[in-house]
Structure 1
Amino acid sequence: MHTDLVAALDIGGTKIAGALVDGHGQILVRSQRPTPAQRDGETVMRAVEEVLGELTASPLWERAGALGIGSAGPVDASAGTVSPVNVPGWRDYPLVRRVRQAACGLPVELIGDGVAITAAEHWQGAARGHDNALCMVVSTGVGGGLVLNGQLHPGPTGNAGHIGHISVDLDGDLCPCGSRGCVERIASGPNIARRALENGWRPGPDGDVSAAAVAEAARFGDPVATASFQRAAQALAAGIAATATLVEIDIAVIGGGVAKAGDVLLTPLRKALGDYATLSFVQRLAVAPAQMGTDAGLVGAAAAALAKRTDAATV
């Protein structure tokens, strides 16, 4: 059988996307459903099966040699289970087994969504050509993934590089994860907006209280909005510098909704990085915006599936 394609699933709290992807990262067939996130686990799985049903109905399906899943986490790749925070019906849900059944027995590779986006950026995006990279997703939460020695480094359970839960403020706010002063508690979109509101920022006539609205206010020089982004940038810089010091990355790629703030985030981030990444071997660390956009999860899941297929072929 000629297997030159892989299937990919990108599973999050708002959408379940699927695709058939070739060896160059091109999406040839795609399917999507809204995630029924507040429904029971079987209802969520039915949406996954509908997406897979559209893929298996394609004449290209028979060329798929493996399937990659990038899922909101936590995931446990060693057990094949997922427990996405924003999908309460799935707790230790046996996603790999259920997907394998729906995908006609294809080999399945599961990684967290931050790791999937990292795989995409390393394969086709801003981290291309870098052997040691950290890619971050700064949005409702803060996730990430690592490339070390030219290889994706998901770790045993698929969660390595989860920079959002490095503590950067020892006496900081309690984070929902149970720790204190986490990067996510300071730098995620909702926390940027919350801090701005607590410090006296007021939204415009449209009442928009999102991080995007705070970014727009900062762009026009609002001091409270600017300060909230500077605080987020400082937390991100501390987390990036800690990671770079630990494993010697040479680029940090920043994606996710909050990264759309552009220079409002990146300028203070680069400045703060100079304050934290001070040792000689981390001083040349580059910071770049992500390039892969909304298809990053699918392309990264495909990259993981291609790697699994290549590994299997060389055994």
Structure 2
Amino acid sequence: MHMDLVAALDIGGTKIAGALVDDRGRILARAQQPTPAQEDGETVMGAVDAVLAELTVSELWPRTRAVGIGSAGPVDRSAGTVSPVNVPGWRDFPLVSRVREIAGGLPVELVGDGVAMTAAEHWQGAARGHDNALCMVVSTGVGGGLILGGQLHPGPTGNAGHIGHISVDLDGDPCPCGARGCVERIASGPNIARRALADGWRPGADGDASAAAVARAAHAGDPVAVASFERAAQALAAGIAATATLVEIDIAVIGGGVAKSGDVLFVPLRRALRDYATLSFVQRLTVAPASTGTDAGLVGAAAAALRSDSARGEVQRQAV
């Protein structure tokens, strides 16, 4: 039997990836282009066109019934537009209508990249089997998404669960979003490195001053590096606990480059979570690393399309 497929797009500041995905989450065809992030909007759209062109000439394309897009944000699911911070040529860019035109009128579902990662982790990763979950990407920024009542909850604009911009320090540093003391301003990779450098940590002979280098120093016992990760863990714990208290999640899944730091992040995070998640209904909250890997954006965009109202009846629903 020939199962229906969905097309998936994962749009970021570095690359635009595309795939044809079946209802088990298997990637059957791929395409990719670098993102011309500093070019004008039509040039960026040209890269999307090129990725879709590769997919539409595949012999599998006639089985495609919907398109899912996970994009760097902000996105506006209700308007079908995207305004990625790291792609200045796209501001309120009508991505959904442009993709729908190229895809021959197929239903198109747009979500933020954190929501896409959440869909992937709930479908095939560490949040599988959990009806109420927060999934997070901790990397250059901090994003996230929610599973509530067993369903992906993107919210009206596709940004629900964006934990990176919960304020956890009322007198903290100004955040580029316009607020102050946001989780992202403390726990993102660049801000972990910034704090370590400000407190006296110095990179090694290779000059690497990234969060990954701070993580290596923390693993080796450098107290300043350890303290920077502990501060990040505390901010994450405060944001996770606030979310759990609000909507009663029972697991927080953390992916992204910073999560690859391992115990220097997760040990203080779990310790801090005990200090913040104190009410009886959140005390059993667990934290786990993400497990869907580098294809999370594509698999999650496909999952979002499979679960969307517009695609129901168009595609098989085994993934729901």
The TM-score normalised by the length of structure 2 is 0.97
User: Retained in 2: the 8 A contact 1:120–1:300?
Assistant: yes
1:166 paired residue number: 166
After TM superposition, give the deviation of residue 3 of structure 1 in Å.
6.0
Alignment of 1:58-77 (within 5 A): 58-77=58-77
Structure 2 counterpart of 1:92: 92
Return 304-313 or 273-282, whichever deviates more. 304-313
Deviation >4 Å, runs of 4+? none
State the distance in 2 between where 1:3 and 1:104 align: 19
Query: Could you say which residue in structure 2 is the equivalent of 1:239?
Result: 239
TM-superposed deviation, 1:311: 2.9
Tell me how far 1:76 sits from its aligned partner. 0.2
1:47 pairs with 2:62: no
1:192-211 CA-partner distances (Å, limit 9, x unpaired): 00000000000000000000
Q: Give distance in 1, aligned partners of 2:9 and 2:92.
A: 18
CA distance in 2, matches of 1:145, 1:216: 29
Task: Identify the residue that residue 78 of structure 1 maps to in structure 2.
Answer: 78
TM-fit CA distance, 1:305: 1.0
Answer whether contact 2:219 2:264 (CA < 8 A) is retained.
Answer: yes
Establish whether residue 311 from structure 1 lines up as the match of residue 306 from structure 2. Answer: no
Q: For the Cα contact (< 8 Å) 2:3–2:23, is it kept in 1?
A: no
Identity of aligned residues (%): 82
Measure, in 2, the Cα distance between the counterparts of 1:312 and 1:177: 39
d(CA) in 1 for partners of 2:105 and 2:14?
Answer: 27
- The verdict on how the C-alpha distance between 1:77 and 1:194 changes in structure 2, with shifts beyond 3 A counting, is same
Q: Deviations over 1:236-263 (max 9, x none)?
A: 0000000000000000000000000011
List alignment gaps of at least 5 residues for structure 1. none
Equivalent AA in structure 2 for residue 91 of structure 1: R
Corresponding residue for residue 108 of structure 1 = 108
In 1, distance between residues paired with 2:69 and 2:312? Answer: 17
CA distance in 2, matches of 1:313, 1:295: 24
Q: TM-score, normalised by structure 1?
A: 0.98
Q: Report the alpha carbon displacement of residue 102 of structure 1 after superposing the two structures with TM.
A: 1.2
What's 1:12 paired with? Answer: 12
Between the aligned partners of 1:307 and 1:248, the Cα distance in structure 2 is 22
Q: Distance in 2 between matches of 1:278 and 1:159?
A: 27
Counterpart code for 1:146: L
Distance 2:94 2:159 in 1: 17
Partner-residue secondary structure (3-state), 1:91: coil
Does the 8 Å CA contact 2:65/2:311 hold for their aligned counterparts? Answer: no
Where 1:218 maps in the other structure, the secondary structure is helix
Checking the alignment, whether the CA contact within 8 Å between 1:111 and 1:158 is kept in structure 2 is yes
SS of residue matched to 1:252 = strand
How far apart in 2 are the matches of 1:7 and 1:106? 10
- Letter of the aligned partner of 1:311 in structure 2? R
How much does 1:104 deviate? Answer: 1.6
Partner of 2:31: 31
- Whole-angstrom CA distance in 1 between matches of 2:170 and 2:22: 46
Whole-angstrom CA distance in 2 between matches of 1:272 and 1:137: 19
Residues 127, 133 of structure 1: 8 Å contact kept:
yes
Q: Which amino acid aligns with 1:177?
A: C
**Following superposition of structure 1 onto structure 2, how do residues 1-315 of structure 1 map, counting pairs within 5 Å?**
4-308=4-308, 311-312=312-313
CA distance in 2, matches of 1:103, 1:140: 31
Aligned to 2:312, what secondary structure does the other structure show? helix
CA deviation map 1:11-31 (0-9, x unaligned): 000000000000000000000
SS in 1 for 2:169: coil
C-alpha distance in 2, partners of 1:175/1:312?
43
- Specify the SS of the correspondent of 2:130: coil
- The one-letter amino acid of 1:145's match is G
Question: Which deviations, in whole Å up to 9, do the C-alpha atoms of 1:262-301 show, x marking residues without a partner?
Answer: 1110000000000000001000001000001110000000
Q: CA contact under 8 A between 1:3 and 1:65: conserved in structure 2?
A: no
- The answer to whether the 8 Å contact 1:3/1:62 transfers is no
Distance (Å, rounded) in 1 between the aligned partners of 2:207 and 2:131: 44
Deviation at 1:310?
5.4
Is the CA contact (8 Å cut-off) linking 1:72 and 1:113 kept in structure 2?
Answer: yes
For 1:55, the aligned partner's letter is: L
CA contact (8 A) 2:126 2:253 kept: yes
Q: Secondary structure at the match of 2:287?
A: strand
RMSD, matched Cα: 1.2
